[in-house]
Amino acid sequence: MSIKNLVNLDDKKLLEMNVGKKFAHTFTRIYIYLGLSLCLLIISIAVGISGYHKLYNNYYNQNTYQGLLRIHNQNLGKSAWWALATRVSETRQEQIVEFHETMLNNMKEDLTNLRAYRGETELIKSLDANIKNIEATTDKLASMYAQAEELEDGSLSNGDEIYAVMRDELRPEVMTTVENTRQMTANVTNEVTSSYDLTIVIMTIMVVISIIMVILLIVFMKNAQNTLTKCVVMPVDEVAKAAEQMARGDLNVAIDYHANDEFDILARDLENSTRASMNIVNDISNSLNEISEGDFSIGTITPNLYHGNFSPISESMNTITDKLSNTMNDVKAASARVSEGAENMSKGANELAEGATDQAAAVEELTASVSTVTEQTEKMAADCARGVQMSIEAQKVAKDGADKMDQVTEAMQRITTASKEIQEVANSIEAISSQTKLLALNASIEAARAGDTGKGFAVVAQEIGQLAQQSNDAVQRTHALVSSALAEIDSGNEIVAETQITLHEIGDSVNELAEMMRTSGDMAQHQASNMREINQGIEQISEVIQTNSATAQESSAVSSELSDQSNQLHNLMSQFQVKLV
């Protein structure tokens, strides 16, 4: 398969597919290319991750452990030399433990970790031998340190022997171990470089392949877009052009598209529907031409063209011709009736004109009578207004009389109060007179007892008694006068009260009379206004009657003309062909 076939679609093959299969076939190819691109990308990522994982977990850890082995080896030698050089026994013991146990155990652990990554290589075996020799040497040194005696200056008695063992046995093994670890570092570095280069090459190749696949996918999608556009948009454009042609009223539609899909079926159906619509339009045009010529006896010329939703058009055409036929028949009959009615209208109009003239004369007489009644009503309204004014004045006079009688009543009450006070004073005087008479009597008795010496006093007592009697008589007359005055005052109060009630009743009657006069005045004014409106209405009726008289004369002339036109209409209607009912 060539590159061209990989990035292109077979448009001829697509034309033979329906629309759903067109899109399914195209997107299947897109999914395949996209899946391959994703797979290559995933492989590239996996190779990169694997390479970096190997670099980290293998080579990085190997370098770490061989570096630790070298450090522990050097620390072991340093501790051994420090143990020999120190003069402090505690420090010497610490350094012996350091090189004989701690560092030696660390070196064994580092070698074990390196063997897990490197396997049983020659360098691993060599390092293992070096560590065993170092262990044997450190055992020997530890034994020599244990057997040594410490001198006064802190040095050891066998220091030269220990120095010789360290120089001739320990130092060569330590240096060999260092050299072996360096060789391992060089080997690891070479392996890392090779692995890194291989990873970069593989990832570059996979990325290039992925980029090529993406480019092929983009080119394929572009070509697929053009091919699908050609296979889908082209028939849509053809159908759209046909629809636009139909919208302009041109039903001579021909769609230049042939394939084995839904668009081909749609194009053929659209051509068939436009052809059927054109036949129906031609039939409607011919039928309307016949109707325009005055032939209402038929509906559609070719009724078998109207199927489905077009059948109401045929029914409507038949209904229209039937209704027009019926209408024309009715118009013919109506024109005859109109002609006959026009003659009768002319006669009635003449009679109406004569009656309108009589009504005008009667209305003029009625207008004169209404004017007289209006004048009398207005005069009665004026009289009622004057009567209201007089009633208001009489009401005011009655109110003033009632107020004055109220004042008289108050004065009579004050007189009554004063008379009662006079009566009380007279009662006091009467009591004083009685006491004076009793005193005069006592004085006479005392004068009689005194004999001659009391005669003058007896005369005085007698005079006082007479004065008391006179006072008593005057009081009695005062009582009689006051009682008589009070009786007169009570009688006057009763008369004043009755007069006051009468005046109030007169005021109420005057109020009622004033209200009745006011109501009569309002009614008279309202009636005068109504009479004026009636007068205006009668004048308007007179004008309307005069207008009706003129209109009736014009109607008579129009009726004669209408009769002539009805005859002409009957002649015109006889030219139409209609269905017989």
pLDDT category at 168 given cuts 50, 70, 90 is: very high
What's the one-letter identity of residue 358? D
Q: Which domain holds residue 131?
A: 3-234
What does residue 156 show for φ and ψ, rounded to 5 degrees? -105, 150
Residues 471-482, mean pLDDT to the nearest whole number: 74
234, 267, 292 - which closes a domain? 234
Is pLDDT above 80 for 553? no
pLDDT one-digit tens code per residue, 490-525:
776 776 677 667 657 756 765 775 677 677 667 767
pLDDT one-digit tens code per residue, 339-365:
666 566 556 656 655 665 666 665 577
Is pLDDT above 90 for 284? no
Mean pLDDT (the chain) is 76
Same structural domain, 230 and 369: no
Q: Which residue has the higher pLDDT, 76 or 482?
A: 76
- Provide the whole-model pTM: 0.36
Single out the residue of 46, 65, 51, 48 nearest to residue 192, CA to CA.
51
Q: Within a domain: residue 377?
A: yes
Question: Crossing angle for the helix pair 103-118 and 61-85, nearest 10 degrees?
Answer: 160
179, 203, 234 - which closes a domain? 234
Q: Give Cα separations from 283 to 27, 144, 277 (angstroms).
A: 50, 135, 10
Q: Would you call 157 helix, strand, or coil by DSSP? A: coil
Question: Crossing angle for the helix pair 455-573 and 311-450, nearest 10 degrees?
Answer: 170
Lowest-confidence range among 146-160, 306-320, 416-430, 546-560?
A: 546-560
**Which pLDDT score is estimated for 436?**
74
Same structural domain, 228 and 371: no
Contact between 472 and 440 under an 8 Å Cβ cutoff? The reply is no
Lowest-confidence range among 279-293, 440-454, 469-483, 512-526?
A: 512-526
234, 260, 278 - which closes a domain? 234
pLDDT category at 252 given cuts 50, 70, 90 is: confident
Is pLDDT above 70 for 549? no
pLDDT category at 94 given cuts 50, 70, 90 is: very high
Q: Within a domain: residue 558?
A: yes
CATH code: domain of residue 487: 1.10.287.950
The b-or-e profile of 310-340 (16+ CB within 10 A means b, else e) is: eeeebeebeeebeebbeebbebbebbeebbe
**Which pLDDT score is estimated for 380?**
63
pLDDT category at 162 given cuts 50, 70, 90 is: very high
pLDDT one-digit tens code per residue, 20-76:
777 787 788 888 878 888 888 788 788 777 766 666 666 778 888 888 999 999 999
Is pLDDT above 90 for 139? yes
Q: Looking at the chain, how many residues does it have? A: 581
Distance of alpha carbon 544 from alpha carbon 102, whole angstroms: 144
pLDDT category at 384 given cuts 50, 70, 90 is: low
Q: What percent of the chain has pLDDT over 70?
A: 68
Single out the residue of 377, 360, 362, 363 nearest to residue 532, CA to CA.
377
Same structural domain, 225 and 372: no
Q: Would you call 541 helix, strand, or coil by DSSP? A: helix
Q: Would you call 295 helix, strand, or coil by DSSP? A: strand
DSSP bridge partners of 572:
none
Distance of alpha carbon 43 from alpha carbon 24, whole angstroms: 28
Q: Within a domain: residue 59?
A: yes
pLDDT one-digit tens code per residue, 187-212:
888 887 888 888 888 888 988 888 88
What does residue 150 show for φ and ψ, rounded to 5 degrees? -90, 125
What's the one-letter identity of residue 289? N
What does residue 577 show for φ and ψ, rounded to 5 degrees? -95, 125
pLDDT category at 222 given cuts 50, 70, 90 is: confident
pLDDT category at 127 given cuts 50, 70, 90 is: very high
Q: Within a domain: residue 272?
A: no
CB neighbours of 396 closer than 8 A, spacing ≥ 6?
none
Is pLDDT above 70 for 376? no
State the total domains in the chain: 2
pLDDT one-digit tens code per residue, 404-431:
767 757 766 786 786 677 677 667 767 7
**Which pLDDT score is estimated for 197?**
85
Q: Within a domain: residue 315?
A: no
Q: Within a domain: residue 301?
A: no
Q: Within a domain: residue 352?
A: no
Q: Within a domain: residue 36?
A: yes
Residues 215-224, mean pLDDT to the nearest whole number: 82
Single out the residue of 70, 187, 66 nearest to residue 115, CA to CA.
66
Angle at Cα 59 formed by Cα 54 and Cα 65, nearest 5°?
A: 135
DSSP assignment of 441-494 equals: HHHHHHHHHHGGGGHHHHHHHHHHHHHHHHHHHHHHHHHHHHHHHHHHHHHHHH
